């Protein structure tokens, strides 16, 4: 079902968390609300679920205005960060709870519960209690309970935050598989850009209660609207250096660097101070603009090495390259930047 937030605002007392936010989630889409802690992403989620009452604006499910409708009638499935399973009930009772509340006939409850248990692969655990399950299994139960009554929308509040690294990888693809199989509209709240990029159709990146950019993960990575977006996406993160426009080139005077203006930006007038963003994968042996510096840090990641390159003016660039033995700590090197992949930002962080 299509979800629309129409000029939605939320304040707690005098604190305005979100103001005039408009966001549309398409039917069957999985959208990530990505942002640092305190940016209002969970608030948005709880407003959609009905746990928080909105201060202003409307929330529409399809064509129906849900703004004043209580949580119980919104038919929203929520997976909480802590899973919030009912500890005194078995897995089967947990999943069946929403159906029993609806007073479905017991045979029907059992059928739907088992169907959902099969979908999330927990058929063998139905008689256990939540305390006897691993984190990943609890997560699956929480998903099953949220999905069993075929909700209008599935809300996931940092669902992977409590899992260890390996399980996180597994559940990432599992949640996506289940979402695609059920075709449900889903909203994922996360502060982890990898989760957002790998699981979702589109990302809405938020900061300080505002949506900065909505785009597909690919588009957002290639074409960030602001320096904040560029800095949030990508691991290892992008590096920024200050430069000045000069005769169609970008120069960093005290580091002896001259970079051409990338084709994705308009040439700024001479003398304009700008911020140049260089992703680590675009600094290395291949490229067109030379950059000299000293290797100040080497981190081995197995397949690749991550280097910190300290420039003459003390600023640090990052470079990720295939493992090679010819560079070691404190070497003076001259690497190259692929200038067509640079991002140019104004001083206040807007893309140029």
Partner 1 sequence: MIGHLRTWPIVLALSILSAPLVLMYAYLFIDTVTNSPPRSFIPNEFTLEHWSFLWETRPGRPSIWRVTLNSLLFATSTSALVIVVSSMAGYVLSRLNVPGRAYFLAGVMVLHAFPAITLIVAIFLVLQVVGLYNTLIGVILVKAAIDMPLGIWLMKGFYDTVPWEIEMAGIQDGASRFTVWRKLVLPQVKPGIFALGLFAFLLGWGEFILPQVLAPSGNAQVLSVYLAGLIADDNNFDMNLFKSVGLFYMMPVLILFFFFQNRLMNIYGGGSKG
Residues that bind partner 1 (CB under 8 A): 49-51, 71-73, 75-78, 80-88, 97-98, 101-102, 129-132, 145-146, 149
Nearer CB in complex with partner 1: 184/291: 184
Nearer CB in complex with partner 1: 81/272: 81
- Altogether, the residues listed in the chain come to a count of 352
Nearer CB in complex with partner 1: 130/224: 130
> Considering the complex, what minimum distance in angstroms separates the CB of residue 129 from partner 1?
6
> Considering the complex, what minimum distance in angstroms separates the CB of residue 235 from partner 1?
29
Nearer CB in complex with partner 1: 50/136: 50
> Considering the complex, what minimum distance in angstroms separates the CB of residue 45 from partner 1?
11
> Considering the complex, what minimum distance in angstroms separates the CB of residue 77 from partner 1?
7
Nearer CB in complex with partner 1: 138/305: 138
> Considering the complex, what minimum distance in angstroms separates the CB of residue 150 from partner 1?
12
> Considering the complex, what minimum distance in angstroms separates the CB of residue 55 from partner 1?
17
> Considering the complex, what minimum distance in angstroms separates the CB of residue 146 from partner 1?
8
At residue 46's C-alpha, the angle toward residues 42 and 48, to 5°, is 115
Nearer CB in complex with partner 1: 90/346: 90
Nearer CB in complex with partner 1: 129/258: 129
Nearer CB in complex with partner 1: 74/202: 74
Tell me the three-class secondary structure of the chain, residue by residue: CCEEEEEEEEEECCEEEEEEEEEEECCCCEEEEECCCCCCHHHHHHHHHCCCCCCEEEEEECCEECCCCCHHHHCEEEECCCCCCCCCCCHHHHHHHHHHHCCCCHHHHHHHHHHHHHHCCCHHHCCCCHHHCCHHHHHHHHHHHHHCCCCCEEEEECCCCCCCHHHHHHHHHHHHHHHHHHCCEEEEEECCHHHHHHHCCEEEEEECCEEEEEECHHHHHHCCCEHHHHHHCCCCCCEEEEEEEECCEEEEHHHCEEEECCCCCCCCCCCCEEEEEECHHHEECCCCEEEEEEEEEEEECCCEEEEEEECCCCCEEEEEEECCCCCCCCCEEEEEECHHHCEEECCCCEEC
> Considering the complex, what minimum distance in angstroms separates the CB of residue 208 from partner 1?
25
In a 13 Å sphere around the CA of 340, the CA atoms on its Cβ side amount to 4
């Amino acid at each position: 079902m299509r979800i629309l937030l129409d000029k939605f605002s939320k304040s707690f007392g005098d604190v305005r968390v979100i103001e005039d936010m408009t966001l549309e989630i398409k039917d069957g889409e999985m959208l990530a609300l990505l942002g640092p802690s305190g940016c209002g992403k969970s608030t948005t989620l709880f407003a959609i679920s009905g746990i928080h009452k909105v201060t202003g604006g409307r929330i529409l499910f399809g064509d129906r205005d849900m703004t004043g409708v209580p949580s119980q009638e919104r038919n929203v499935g929520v997976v909480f960060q802590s899973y919030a399973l009912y500890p005194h009930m078995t897995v089967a009772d947990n999943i069946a709870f929403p159906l029993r509340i609806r007073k479905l006939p017991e045979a029907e409850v059992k059928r739907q519960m088992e169907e959902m248990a099969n979908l999330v692969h927990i058929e063998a655990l139905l008689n256990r209690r939540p305390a006897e399950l691993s984190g990943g299994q609890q997560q699956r139960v929480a998903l099953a309970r949220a999905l069993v009554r075929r909700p209008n929308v599935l809300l996931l509040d940092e669902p992977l935050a409590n899992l260890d690294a390996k399980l996180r990888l597994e559940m990432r693809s599992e949640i996506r598989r289940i979402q695609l199989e059920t075709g449900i509209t889903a909203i994922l709240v996360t502060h982890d850009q990898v989760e957002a990029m790998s699981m979702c159709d589109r990302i809405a990146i938020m900061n300080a209660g505002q949506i900065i950019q909505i785009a597909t993960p690919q588009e957002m990575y290639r074409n960030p609207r602001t320096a904040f977006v560029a800095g949030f996406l990508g691991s290892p993160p992008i590096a920024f250096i200050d430069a000045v426009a000069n005769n169609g080139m970008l120069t960093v005077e005290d580091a002896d660097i001259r970079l051409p203006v990338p084709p994705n930006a308009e040439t700024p007038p001479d003398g304009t101070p700008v911020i140049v963003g260089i992703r680590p994968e675009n600094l290395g042996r291949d490229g067109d603009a030379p950059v000299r510096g000293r290797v100040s840090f080497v981190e081995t990641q197995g397949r690749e090495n991550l280097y910190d390159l300290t420039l003459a003016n003390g600023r640090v660039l990052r470079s990720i390259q295939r493992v090679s033995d010819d560079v070691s700590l404190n070497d003076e090197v001259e690497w190259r930047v692929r200038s067509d992949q640079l991002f140019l930002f104004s001083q206040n962080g807007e893309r140029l």
